[in-house]
Amino acid sequence: MISDFIMFDYPLVLISFAVFIPIIIHDILTGLRSDNTEKKHKQPAFVTFATKFPPQLQKKLTLSRIFFRVFLALSIIALAGPRWGTGYRALEYRRGLDTVFAIDVSRSMDIRDTETGTVVQSRLERGLYIARQSVINVSGARFAAAIGRNRGYLAVPLTYDNEAALSFLESLDGSSMTGRSTNLESLIEAAIDAFQSTSPARKVIVLISDGESHSGVLRNAINRCVREGIVITTVAVGSDEGRPVPAEMGGQSSAVSRRDAAVMRTTAERTGGIYIDGGRDDAASALSLHLLSLAHDSGSVSSRSESRQRRTLFIILAAIAYGASKFIPLIPSVKKTIVSMIAAVFLLTSCSEGRILLMEANYLHSQGRFDEAIVSYFKALNFKDSAPYAEYGIGVSYYLLDEGTAALNRYENSQKILDGLAEGEPPTSPDGRSSQVHRELRYRNHYNSGIIYFEEGNFNSAADAFREALRTDPRRIDAKRNLELSLMSIVMETPRENRTETHNETREIVFDYIRQQEQQQWKSREWTPEDNFTGPDY
C-alpha cells in the first residue's frame, strides 16, 4: 500500500554521506585554482580540470566524476535499506496483551511541578501512580518494566504476576541509577528487548517521561517499533512552563526543565499509540481504558500495511552509475551518450498498463475504497505480468469485506497462475525482477489462507496452509508461530479419547515451542557505569 514516508532499516548508515564533505571542499579548492589558471592564460576552463586537457576530454572526465559520486550516494542509500511505496497487506492473528512500562528516571523527573487538585507531585511520582493504577485495572495482560537515564535497562521481565510489577513500581526511584543526561532511544530499545518475537500478543510500550532527551536518536527507536508493529503510548508528565533545575541536580541558575509535549505526541502518533497528558486528573483511567481496548481487540485477525524493500532498485542504479563513470571517457560523443542513457532509464523504468492498474488499485485499497479497488484489480487480470498480483489484491479486499470464502478462492487462483508461469517462460513480477520475487507472493497466498482457516476454526486446513507457507519461505517467524498455534488448537479441539494419537503427532513441535519460550527468558545483566557525558545532568 502507499506509505506516508520513507523508512530505513539501518538509518545510521546514512552518516556515511559525510564522505562528501571533503569531496565538496576539494571541488571548491580545485575550482578556485582552475579560475586562477583561466585568468592567467586567458583560456576557457571547463570546471575543475587543468587546461592542458582538451575541452572534449575535460567534459568526459567531469561527467565521469559526477556519475561516480552518484554511484557512491546510491550505494550508501542501498546499504541503509530504504522502504516506501506499494507493499503487501499482511494479516496478523493477535492474542493477549504484552505491556512494557518504559520509565524515565533521569534527575529532571524529580522536579515537583505536577499539580493534580491540591497535591503537588514530582514527575516520577505522578508517572508511577498512573502506571500502578493501570496494572491494577487491566487484568489478563503481561507487564514488564524498563528504566533508564543515559542508558536503558530491562528491570522486570514480562510476567502475569501483577504483584511483582506493582512491587517494583512502588519501590522505584531514581537514586539507584547512575549516569548523566537522558537517552530515550536507549530506554525504548531496552523496552523492545522485553518482547518475544514468537509471541502472538499485541505489543505495547507505555513511555513515561517529560520528553526531554539530551542524547541518542529517538527516531531510530521509533522506526524500529514501526517495523516490528509495536505501539508506543506516551504519558507526558511535568508542566509546559517548567521549573528551574535545582543546583543539587546539577542545574545552572538559568537552566529550566520543561515538558516536551511535541516529542511525546509525535512518538505516539508515529507508532499508532495515543498521547496522554499526565497532569490530567483522569490520566490513569485514560491509560487503563486504552490498554483494555487493546486487550479486547486481541484474539482476532487484523491487517497491517508493509512497505516494500527498495534496496534492489538502488543497487541496480548504483551499478549503472558506476558503469557509466568508467565507460563515458571511452565513448566519442558526450551528447549522444547522455541521450542514450536517458533513453535506457526510461526503458528500464517504464510501466506496463497492468502495473499502472495495480498501482491505482493499491492506492484505492489503502484509502479503504475496497469496491473501487476491486474494479481496478479485475482490469489488471487481463495482463499476464500483473494477473497473479491482481488475484491476491482481490483476495485481500474480499477478506476485509468479510468475504472469507471468496478470498480463499482468489488466493488459490493466484497460486494457479503462478504455477502456470513456472511451467512456461521465466516469469517476471510487476517490478520487472526475476522469478525469485514470486516467492513472497506464494508465501502470502498460503499464509493469508491459513489466517482465514484459523479464524473459521478449521485448524487442520490452517496448519496445512502454514506448512505450505514455510515450505515457500522457511525463515518466516509468523508462519512458524501460527503453525504452532494451529497444532495446539487441534489438540484442544480433539475429543479426549482421540487426543493421545493427535498429541503424539504434534508433541515434537509443541515441545520445540516450549523450549523456545524457555530460551527467551529474561536474563539479568550487570549494571555497568554509563559512558562519560558532559552535558546537563537532568
91 lies in some domain: no
Distance, CA of 121 to chain centre: 36
- Domain of 489, CATH number, reads 1.25.40.10
pTM over 0.85? The answer is no
The whole-angstrom separation of Cα 464 and Cα 33 is 72
pLDDT, one tens digit per residue, over 472-507 is: 888 888 888 888 888 888 877 766 555 455 555 555
- Which residue pairs, CB below 8 angstroms and at least 24 apart, start in 455-461? 455/93, 455/300, 455/301, 455/404, 456/404, 457/493, 459/486, 459/487, 459/489, 459/490, 459/493, 460/486, 460/490
512 and 491 in a common domain: yes
What is the β-pairing status of strands 243-244 and 231-236? unpaired
221 and 254 in a common domain: yes
255 and 125 in a common domain: yes
- Domain of 262, CATH number, reads 3.40.50.410
Task: Give whole-number Cα distances, 454 to 364, 450, 490, in Å.
Answer: 28, 6, 10
Return the SS3 of 91. strand
More confident residue, 282 or 334: 282
The whole-angstrom separation of Cα 144 and Cα 51 is 69
- How many domains does the chain fold into? 3
CA angle 85, 86, 90 (to 5 degrees): 120
Residues in the chain: 538
257 and 204 in a common domain: yes
The whole-angstrom separation of Cα 260 and Cα 278 is 12
The whole-angstrom separation of Cα 239 and Cα 43 is 67
pLDDT, one tens digit per residue, over 80-101 is: 888 776 555 555 555 678 999 9
177 and 115 in a common domain: yes
35 and 158 in a common domain: no
Return the SS3 of 97. strand
Return the SS3 of 291. helix
The whole-angstrom separation of Cα 395 and Cα 399 is 6
Please report where in the chains the cell 548504483 appears, as a residue.
318
Q: Is residue 71 exposed (0-12), middle (13-18) or buried (19+ Cβ within 10 Å)?
A: buried
Least confident of 254-258, 381-385, 406-410, 473-477: 254-258
253 and 146 in a common domain: yes
- Confidence band, pLDDT 50/70/90 cuts, at residue 274: very high
The whole-angstrom separation of Cα 197 and Cα 174 is 30
510 lies in some domain: yes
405 lies in some domain: yes
107 and 201 in a common domain: yes
Alpha helices, DSSP H only, in 81-146?
Answer: 123-137
The whole-angstrom separation of Cα 134 and Cα 131 is 5
pLDDT, one tens digit per residue, over 195-239 is: 987 677 889 999 999 888 777 788 889 988 988 889 999 999 988
450 lies in some domain: yes
323 and 195 in a common domain: no
513 and 478 in a common domain: yes
Is residue 66 predicted with pLDDT exceeding 70?
yes
Residues 6+ apart with CB under 8 A from 532: none
Structural domain for 186, as ranges: 96-298
For 400-493, strand residue ranges (E) read none
341 lies in some domain: no
